[in-house]
């Protein structure tokens, strides 16, 4: 190999690296810029399958990878956020969304002003200035998008120019003639390349770069493109390896969708090429590949959309249901664990929404824990004491799992607002766990009453019921404020906390009067005051949770 050949090889590899990195930077900037809109998209997924197709298309257009979108869908199914029928629509939409990249790549054929080498340096220049000097985070995100676009286009230019000297080389003619005359080989080649680089957008971009130099024929381009759509399923299949069976079925649906569509189109195009050999052997442009890629994915969606239920049923026959071992069995006496999935971390906006729902679930358990702990006091019940201990173990597991997940999420590329939300969710988890600790204290005090065979006075129990009602409202509103992101609910928590403080002061005074009159003993009095103190501290933690929600607005 001569120095010139080596230089061209280095240029192609460098161009490919810049193309892939530019796509990553651009997608990251687009995702950050989408911000809270991604949360709204998540809500759409649960409403209608047609809307699911639109969401899948839009999300994939933003993150520039149908593989990443499908991996997220597998994660959502695994976490129980969406069901398989809803997942089908998103998967179909993801295939349509991935065509955006092919149109971006083909822009160089739209005219001289659209060629990468013409405006890419300007994009990088403006983008770099925005990233380095812009004060507003939104402007810095736009800068990242521009830099990503610029690097992507320069990478394409590098790859294209490195191939130009060899476009008349016999190896290209021979290779694409063989691939074009053998549909199975062409499809397998496209699938293998895409599986290796884990991105159909990138593999289609490479094919288009070759097409820009006039070395790709129509028949080979179409078979390779069909294979690329199959190869993109590998990422989701690998991702589903550690998931539950329902999530595995979501990955299989993705594979079935692309395989069925590819077989139909391969047979159809084989007939067309047999009838028109001149067309089959003609050179395809990058725009031509974009057109076919788009037609295939839209047509495949229209064709198979009515059969979504059948795809779900077929996936069930391939991945058969079997009794699964419960993850909770690893930790005795744990009622449940948070439903989290690391696959979603690649899209922070969705991950934040997912983990926020689990934090809310932890809040609901904490609320129930207050009820159970107080019931153990009112009824002096061993059964309720044991139930409270079990709930405390559950909250400890929630704290550990949620904290670990949020720490992992904090290492992702986040906007300033997302960093704040993740931080507040961490604080919220800590406050909820502390509520559990106070409930545990109350249950231990009830245990002391059982062991000493003593009871609180009726007046003391009435006081505790009154303050418990207000504390429960405060915790409930605090959890609701997180669930709804409602400042109004957060402000109401403050008013309830004032009521709790006032009630505690009055009840302590009433207790001193009962002691002086001999209506209760010193032992029961100490238990009463300790329970009162724990309830007041629970309301303080409810206020903390409300403050985090208010600070995010």
Nearest to 262 by CA among 307, 290, 231, 284: 231
For residue 31, what pLDDT is reported? 64
Report the candidate in 332, 450, 336 with the shortest Cα–Cα distance to residue 383: 450
CA distance 395 to 388: 11
Are the C-beta atoms of residues 361 and 297 closer than 8 Å to each other?
no
Instruction: Name which of 396, 411, 553 is nearest 481 in CA terms.
Output: 553
* Integer-rounded Cα radius of gyration of the chain: 30
Which runs of consecutive H residues, i.e. helices, occur in 164-182? Answer: 170-181
Task: Check residue 330 and give its pLDDT.
Answer: 42
- Position 210 scores a pLDDT of 80
Cβ 234 vs Cβ 190: under 8 Å = no
pLDDT of residue 115: 64
Length reported for the chain:
553
Q: What is the pLDDT of residue 430?
A: 95
Domains, the chain, ranges and CATH?
3-318 (no CATH), 345-551 (1.20.58.220)
Residue position matching structure tokens 């000097």: 133
Tokens representing 200 are: 């159909």
Q: What is the reported pLDDT for 275? A: 93
Mean pLDDT per block of 10 residues along the chain (553 residues) reads 81 82 73 58 62 82 71 71 79 86 73 66 90 85 85 78 65 67 88 78 79 84 90 78 76 91 93 91 88 92 90 86 44 68 76 87 94 89 88 93 93 84 94 94 89 83 93 94 90 93 90 76 81 94 94 80
Contact 247, 77 (CB under 8 A): yes
The whole-angstrom separation of Cα 156 and Cα 206 is 8
Q: Annotate 319-334 with DSSP letters as a single string.
A: S---PPPPGGGGSTT-
- Does residue 543 contact residue 493 with C-beta atoms inside 8 Å? yes
Query: What pLDDT is attached to residue 19?
Result: 76
CA distance 507 to 517: 15
Q: Are 395 and 365 in contact (CB under 8 A)?
A: yes
Looking at residue 545, what is its pLDDT?
95
Q: Give the pLDDT score at 398.
A: 94
């Amino acid at each position: 190999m001569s120095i010139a050949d080596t230089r061209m090889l280095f240029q192609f590899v460098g161009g490919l690296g810049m193309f892939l990195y530019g796509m990553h930077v651009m997608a990251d900037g687009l995702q950050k810029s989408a911000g809270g809109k991604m949360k709204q998209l998540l809500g759409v997924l649960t409403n209608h399958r047609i809307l699911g197709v639109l969401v899948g298309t839009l999300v994939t257009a933003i993150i520039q990878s149908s593989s990443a979108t499908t991996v997220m869908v597998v994660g959502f199914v695994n976490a129980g956020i969406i069901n398989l029928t809803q997942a089908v629509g998103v998967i179909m939409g993801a295939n349509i969304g991935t065509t955006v990249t092919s149109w971006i790549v083909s822009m160089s054929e739209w005219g001289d002003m659209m060629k990468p080498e013409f405006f890419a340096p300007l994009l990088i220049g403006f983008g770099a200035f925005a990233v380095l000097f812009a004060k507003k985070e939104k402007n810095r995100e736009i800068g990242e998008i521009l830099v990503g676009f610029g690097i992507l286009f320069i990478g394409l230019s590098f790859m294209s120019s490195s191939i130009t000297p060899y476009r008349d080389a016999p190896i290209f003619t021979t290779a694409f003639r063989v691939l074009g005359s053998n549909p199975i080989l062409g499809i397998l080649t496209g699938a293998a390349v895409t599986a290796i680089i884990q991105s159909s957008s990138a593999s289609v971009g490479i094919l288009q770069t070759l097409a820009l130099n006039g070395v790709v024929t129509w028949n080979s381009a179409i078979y390779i493109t069909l294979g690329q759509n199959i190869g993109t399923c590998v990422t989701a299949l690998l991702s589903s390896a550690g998931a539950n069976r329902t999530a595995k079925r979501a990955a299989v649906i993705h594979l079935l969708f692309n395989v069925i569509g590819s077989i139909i189109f391969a047979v159809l195009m084989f007939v067309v090429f047999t009838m028109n050999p001149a067309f089959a052997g003609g050179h395809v442009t990058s725009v031509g590949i974009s057109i076919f890629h788009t037609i295939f994915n839209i047509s495949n969606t229209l064709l198979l959309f009515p059969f979504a239920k059948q795809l779900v049923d077929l996936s069930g026959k391939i991945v058969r249901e079997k009794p699964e071992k419960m993850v909770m069995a690893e930790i005795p006496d744990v009622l449940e664990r948070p439903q989290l999935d690391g696959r979603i971390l690649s899209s922070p906006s969705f991950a934040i929404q997912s983990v926020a729902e689990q934090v809310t679930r932890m809040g609901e358990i904490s609320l129930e824990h207050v009820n159970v702990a107080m019931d153990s006091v009112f009824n002096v019940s061993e059964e309720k004491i044991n139930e409270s201990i079990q709930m405390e173990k559950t909250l400890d597991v929630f704290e550990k799992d949620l904290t670990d997940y949020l720490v992992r999420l904090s290492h992702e590329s986040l906007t300033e607002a997302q960093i704040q939300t993740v931080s507040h969710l961490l604080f919220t988890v800590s406050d909820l766990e502390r509520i559990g600790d106070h409930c545990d204290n109350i249950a231990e005090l009830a245990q002391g009453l059982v062991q000493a065979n003593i009871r609180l006075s009726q007046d003391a129990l009435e006081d505790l019921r009154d303050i418990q009602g207000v504390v429960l409202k405060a915790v409930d509103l605090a959890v609701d404020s997180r669930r709804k992101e409602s400042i109004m609910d957060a402000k109401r928590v403050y008013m309830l906390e004032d009521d709790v403080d006032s009630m505690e002061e009055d009840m302590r005074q009433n207790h001193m009067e009962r002691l002086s009159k001999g209506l209760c003993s010193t032992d029961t009095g100490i238990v009463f005051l300790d329970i009162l103190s724990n309830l007041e501290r629970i309301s303080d933690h409810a206020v903390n949770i409300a403050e985090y929600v208010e600070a995010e607005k």
